[in-house]
Amino acid sequence: MTKENRIEKLLQNFNNANLQPLWTLESDIMPHVPKPKSIPYLWKWDEIYQLAEEAGELITLDRGGDRRAIALANPGLGGMPFATETLWMAVQWLNGKEVAPAHRHTPQAIRFIVDGAGSYSTVEGDRVYLEKGDLVLNPPLLWHDHGSDSDERAIWIDGLDIPLTRYLNANFFEHNKNDVQEVNTIRNFSLLKYGSGTMKPAWEREKPVYPLMSTFKWSRTEQALLDLEKSGASSPFDDIALEYINPLTGNPVMKTFSCWIQMIRPGVHTQAHQEVCSTVYFVFEGSGYSVIDGVRFDWKKGDLFVIPNWKLHEHVNTSSGKRALLFSINDRPTMEALDKYREQAYTENSGHQEVKSIF
């Protein structure tokens, strides 16, 4: 028997014994750089809104489960309803006078309000009324329901770590016996008590893992952006960018992912860089484009787009007079907690990629 025949038989015996020799698969399981399956992609708001509006007419909450949510399905993930390997993002539609029943789950969740129109979110009995640009937090295993006192529809962006939770086989989900929680505090209680963001009642000593207020109001967020702009400080990669944090700990609002709001000022073209983390963006205001791995993605208000792990990216505001605002979630906290995070600036061509194609 030749050596080649013996090697072939050896490999077959490995397979029969449910064993795999490293030398045959090393480049697959330990590549030189990250090779995400998710791809850069952009979803147009006009199409999303039309489909969501039709779903609002045809799909009742009981027919569509307890949430009328439409998930971003990255084409690189084989039909899975995930934006990236770790992040789930969806557009949720709530009709006027409707209630999305109370439930709780292991995945960590946020809502970014596109248009509140009299809607509210109740988290553990604390009901806060919502406005455009508000960020709502749903930490794991806290009861939450959503509803509307208005005749108008409400629409928001959902962000969760469902893919990561699913990979870890750590999901738990439970319906409340009542569709609507009992509200046991005054209206907007957590905002009144903790909403300053930098102070808390002096008699409370604990430093909770998650922020004590369930909602970050847009008026304060926008003012923080404007104040940072006035300071003259900015990021070469993200321009005027703020991370939502737990004001009592300085940590991101969620353990597995972070929420950002950023302003790309008129005419700004940021430098390109790449990171070991994936990011999903919602264009809250303005227009421009991002170059992701050499492909130009033109975006405008309402569009959503994704930057997978370790893909070069840069942002451009094409307007000479109007700002662009981007809300985003990224899995950087997970990568940092596992000591996997890495960042690298692009140093060629004055920090700007060559555009090879336009999406």
Task: Please write the tens of the pLDDT for every residue from 237-288.
Answer: 999 999 999 988 999 999 999 999 999 999 999 999 999 999 999 999 999 9
For the chain, the average pLDDT equals: 95
Over 70: is that where the pLDDT of 64 sits? Answer: no
In a domain, 9, yes or no: no
In a domain, 30, yes or no: no
Confidence of residue 14 (pLDDT cuts 50, 70, 90): very high
Distance CA 156, CA 255 (A): 22
Q: Give the H or E element holding residue 102.
A: strand 99-105
Q: pTM for the complete prediction?
A: 0.95
Could you give phi then psi for residue 251, rounded to 5 degrees? -85, 160
Query: What CATH number has the domain bearing residue 333?
Result: 2.60.120.10
Over 80: is that where the pLDDT of 197 sits? Answer: no
In a domain, 22, yes or no: no
Q: Give the H or E element holding residue 100.
A: strand 99-105
Query: Which of 116 and 93 is assigned the larger pLDDT?
Result: 93
In a domain, 14, yes or no: no
Confidence of residue 27 (pLDDT cuts 50, 70, 90): confident
Could you give phi then psi for residue 55, rounded to 5 degrees? -65, -35
Confidence of residue 28 (pLDDT cuts 50, 70, 90): confident
- CA angle (292 as vertex; 339, 317 as ends), nearest 5: 110
Which bin fits 79, alpha (ψ -120 to 50), beta or left (φ > 0)?
left
Over 90: is that where the pLDDT of 191 sits? Answer: no
In this structure, the number of other CB atoms found within 10 A of the CB of residue 66 comes to 17
Segments forming the whole domain that contains residue 121: 36-358
Confidence of residue 117 (pLDDT cuts 50, 70, 90): confident
pLDDT of residue 48: 98
| Number of domains making up the chain | 1
In a domain, 15, yes or no: no
Q: Taking Cα atoms as reference points, which of 279, 278, 267 lies closest to residue 324?
A: 267
- DSSP output for 90-115: EEEEE-TT-EEEEEEESS-EEEEEEE
Pull the structure tokens for residue 180. Answer: 């609507």
Q: Which residues contact 201 (CB under 8 A, 6 or more apart)?
A: 193
pLDDT of residue 192: 84
- C-alpha distances in angstroms, 134 versus 161, 191, 353? 20, 12, 34
In a domain, 26, yes or no: no
User: Contact at 8 Å (CB) between 289 and 297?
Assistant: yes
pLDDT of residue 63: 65
Mean pLDDT, to the nearest integer, of 2-10?
A: 94
- C-alpha distances in angstroms, 191 versus 156, 235, 244, 266? 20, 30, 15, 33
Could you give phi then psi for residue 166, rounded to 5 degrees? -65, -45
Within 13 A of 12's CA, how many CA atoms are on the CB side? 6
Q: Which residues contact 102 (CB under 8 A, 6 or more apart)?
A: 122, 143, 144, 145, 175, 176, 178, 179, 180, 181
Task: Please write the tens of the pLDDT for every residue from 151-178.
Answer: 999 999 999 999 999 999 999 999 998 8
Distance CA 117, CA 150 (A): 6
Over 70: is that where the pLDDT of 44 sits? Answer: yes
Q: Which residues contact 233 (CB under 8 A, 6 or more apart)?
A: none
- CA angle (144 as vertex; 283, 308 as ends), nearest 5: 35
In a domain, 275, yes or no: yes
Dihedral of alpha carbons 306, 308, 309, 314, sign: negative
